Structure 1
């Protein structure tokens, strides 16, 4: 089945073709016609299944008819992170190039005044994180009474980050008569309650078992001592044919340390974590997407926030503490049918072993172990008998500490 059979307009089909896509993914094939029909959607899909296009493409066609009014956006897309919001905005720009739609991005780290100017002119598509959206709303800078389409994306991530109360508040401010498109990789009880409260007879689309991993990803485990993790990572990077790769760490402090280590050893590397200014984060992301940066060391802020279609490798420098995060991390590779590789470095600590057991239980898959690649050993220290024969001159009466017990030569 091609995109031309889904009911999309010629302008949208042309933009899709120019982007290099010829066949829709399963969630796109199922969701796009239903969205065009005006139905509420409950999509359960793992990372990398193409769900962003499953709602952006039909929304572009629906919104191409009509006109936005000042401070009254016609559609709203809620994303849990700034990175995800920016990726969705790029998707609209790419696929909506043949339509005259206006768009605003409301995320933290960007000047309020610039965002207010866009809202004042009126926008067809408003993409926002919950906190920044409510900031503008409570300041009286936007109205939500004109929203016809609401998208709640990565709902389970919203739950993890504590945004569900904000999402509920936003949903209550939107007119009852609107279309809701709701997407989540998993369906924990709080998310299920939310869908029952705000969705009207939704079409449920589940393209993969919740928290399953893509079959196109070759997964491997390497067990090493904690002190050997960094040199093992470097050896992996040298032994694998890495086109580009993401290295995940559990803590921001580890992101900085691993980044600094790789940078010192001459790797093309950038870092991404929550303490960075938005401008720096976008600069690093742009460099990674444009292949001027080969490796990206990241915290879980990037686990669902990256939309680089052809990442060859994912490296878990740390075993994630949440089993579902493993699925989302390695889902950055092996996307849309492509092959990818995922390596997880694990120690023999009780915590690592527990987290690994949780991952294998969730994914219902035993991850195979491999031997750590050969690490170039440091140059051996010279034994006393190997020291070059000669004399120490110029010392005078002051003998350095390391010659306190000199060897006779």
Structure 2
């Protein structure tokens, strides 16, 4: 069995790996590290959660141990699609370079340019960045890429999904032609293959698993969900999610819950908190400080349920995630692979459960076609409680239904014998009853008392009908009686 000591890594790097508690490399690490140490370009294809980050971090540190960085000219560059993944790479670098004097800088959005400029001005050996923020620094004249010796593109397929391919091509053109390139991805779309053919020189291709496969140590399942009513679909779906979580019992120590839309992330997190679950949202619209705080709470176990958009599908290296719940079926089949890859990491077992509404069945078919396996169907949880009224957003239709019900009760009360008895018992003075043959005259301020008395004594509703409130009647009775001019 291959060990890290057999990979010809620098002794200081080996000591850091040993301190981290690792002895045996994963297949992607065993395949990618030797050619990387030889200075060759590497194209690594492996499912998420197999240790791709260490596959380029360890050889980079070994190759950069000699030399010195110059101001604004980093010696190596790592590109990541999201802030979280870039921060994860930076943490790995800190772990494995702890016995060296190599320096790093992290360029991501949500952090002031001033602090990042100071790091670049001092000179860094490793620059870890998202494409957008890197180009921002370059266009401001604060950064030169002509000194890059090693360039790494991590999660290349996610770069494609997020529209970063034009930026990646531009960055490639800004770096020296003699650079060494390490290219890693979980899937290989045709566009990704075109870039590798253009910018990589005779790369060593390491494919330790079929592209877009899921880990065998992850228990998968999908619940086919059909709401009872269209206007109750969201409420019943959230209720079903809670039932799935409860059904896993103590085995669900923590979980990431994925939604397709940011607005649903907030709604689902709020719903879980209302029902007593320790949950918090994370998505791209939150401040970077809030996102990092939420992630840290989830890593330390302070937070049990992380409700996330796909911004967290890549880059979260939290080994002890027991479950992944797909509240929505991902619209891109490749995202399913990355989502469920957040559990079952480092050889552990995990579970990935998904809720599929009728509208999502086409996306489910695309996923099963991609992974070339049918996802087992789950039975509906028994005793699923009726959705709580305070869990759903305001629903207008039931309110209108209740109003109609009250009106029916009022109509029935008008036609009841008791109502007629009350109406007949109302005092009426004959001398004040108007002659029906004469036209009624109404003043601007209201009807005369004789008109009002007639209305109250008649069974045929006029104006306010039989339900003339007493306080209105008394207000007229208190006035001085004036002869009816009609």
Same fold (TM over 0.5): yes
Residues 306 and 402 (structure 1), Cα distance of their counterparts in 2 relative to 1, 3 Å cut: farther
CA distance in 1, matches of 2:189, 2:225: 34
CA contact (8 A) 2:239 2:385 kept: no
Distance 1:214 1:243 in 2: 20
CA deviation string 1:80-107 (max 9, x = no partner): 1111100000000111111111100001
**Structure 2 counterpart of 1:340, from 346, 350, 374:** 350
Q: What is residue 383 of structure 1 aligned with on the other side?
A: none
Quote the Cα distance in structure 1 between the aligned partners of 2:220 and 2:386: 29
1:11-62 Cα offsets, whole Å, 9 max, x none, are: 2122212222221100000111111111100111111110000000111111
Among residues 363, 371, 377, which one is paired with 2:371 in the alignment?
A: 363
Question: How big is the alpha-carbon RMSD for the aligned residues of Structure 1 and Structure 2?
Answer: 1.8
Q: Greater relative contact order: 1 or 2 (C-alpha under 8 angstroms, separation 6 or more)?
A: 1
Structure 1 residue 212 displacement after superposition: 0.8
Which residue number corresponds to residue 184 of structure 2?
183
**What aligned pairs does 1:123-162 form with structure 2 within 5 A after superposition?**
123-162=124-163
Please list, as runs of the form range in 1=range in 2, the aligned pairs for 1:61-210 lying within 5 A after superposition.
61-210=62-211
Kept in 1, the 8 Å contact 2:33–2:59? The answer is: yes
**Runs of at least 4 residues off by over 6 Å:** 400-406
Post-superposition offset of 1:239: 2.1
In the TM superposition, residue 9 of structure 1 has moved relative to its aligned partner by 2.1
- Residues 103 and 125 of structure 1 are in contact (CA less than 8 Å); yes or no, is this contact kept in structure 2? yes
Structure 2 gap segments, 5+ residues each: 228-232, 389-405, 414-486
| Secondary structure of residue in 2 paired with 1:105 | strand
Q: CA deviation at 1:304?
A: 0.9
Corresponding residue for 1:255? 265
- Contact in 2 for aligned 1:231/1:375 (Cα 8 Å): no
- The answer to whether the Cα contact below 8 Å between 2:240 and 2:384 also exists between their aligned partners in 1 is no
Contact 1:11 1:98 in 2 (8 A): yes
Deviates more, 1:196-205 or 1:3-12: 3-12
Of the two, which has the highest radius of gyration?
2
Deviation at 1:69, TM superposition (A): 0.8
**Equivalent of 1:377 in 376, 385, 392:** 385
Three-state SS of the structure 1 residue aligned to 2:137 is helix
2:60 maps to which residue? 59
- Please give the alpha-carbon distance, in whole angstroms, between the structure 1 residues aligned to 2:407 and 2:20: 67
Consecutive unaligned residues in structure 1, runs of 5 or more: 381-399
Equivalent position SS for 1:93? helix
Structure 1 residue 402: Cα displacement: 12
Answer yes or no: is the 8 Å Cα contact 2:239–2:387 preserved in 1: no
Give the CA deviation at 1:65. 1.1
Deviates more, 1:112-121 or 1:94-103: 94-103
**What is residue 321 of structure 1 aligned with on the other side?**
331
Is 1:12–1:95's contact at 8 Å kept on the other side of the alignment? yes
Which structure carries more helix by proportion? 2
Q: Structure 2-normalised TM-score?
A: 0.77
